[in-house]
Amino acid sequence: MTSAITTIALSHEFGKVEALRGVSISIERGELFGLFGPNGAGKSTLIRILSTLIIPTAGQALVAGFDTVREADKVRAAIGLVFANENSFYGRLTGRQNLEFFGALQQLPREAARRRAGELLELFGLSEAAGAYFQTYSTGMRQKLNVARALLHDPPVLFLDEPTKGMDVVTAEKVRGLLRRELVQRQGKTVLLTTHDLDEMEALCDRVAILERGAIRASGPPAELIRQASATVAYRLEVAGAAAGLAGALAGLAEVAAVEVVSRTEAVTVFE
């Protein structure tokens, strides 16, 4: 299979804060891939780089075969983007009018935008509410319209930043089912989503990368990662002095999966 998304040693800094550190991933076409980790792990930063909203400090990212920096316009044409709690819809327009308006911004002909809006409203169970003002929509309805908007131009790649955030359990399950069955299995789209919901990760994703402090700690099928996590113990080690070379020595032990230098001063070095 051909990769739909590739990052090579991708890093990004906000001032002195390292948001991403040497992230390398490869996501195949038609795959539903998850980024799992706590708030502040770097998930949203990676999505923003891949969607051309920010330029990485170092490394390279390719989406649909296009470089996110040198070929940003081509990347934007190939992606749909969904952020949680999106507030750029117009409250005094109906759900249908909002989709038709954003379809026009995507340069869809009027009739094509109207037809596509109707298809998506039906797909996401919003046909009955299509004529209601957006400001009357519930959180779940708003998020479903948000995903529908990202699909107006039928992109092959979809980025979803916490797509079920704020939804009730029933609505979240329905949206997950649509993502898996309709967008991935039937339409063959590549979906990259972020989550810190373990159940969502296990139910949806083909593979997952676990991000912590901007670096990938592990990647693979969710069931395998959960099995590994249940058998793994984390330790924090504080050593007097600079402890030069100790990280390499620890990493060389067969029982040690990974070693990170958390902080280092002349007095103390902290490993995890």
Residue 72: the pLDDT is 98
State mean pLDDT over 33-53. Answer: 94
Confidence label for 89 from pLDDT (cuts 50, 70 and 90) = very high
State mean pLDDT over 103-126. Answer: 96
Residue 270: the pLDDT is 60
State mean pLDDT over 16-24. Answer: 95
**Structural domains in the chain, sorted by start:** 3-230 (3.40.50.300), 237-271 (no CATH)
Confidence label for 5 from pLDDT (cuts 50, 70 and 90) = very high
Confidence label for 68 from pLDDT (cuts 50, 70 and 90) = very high
Nearest to 153 by CA among 76, 91, 241, 87: 76
Confidence label for 241 from pLDDT (cuts 50, 70 and 90) = low
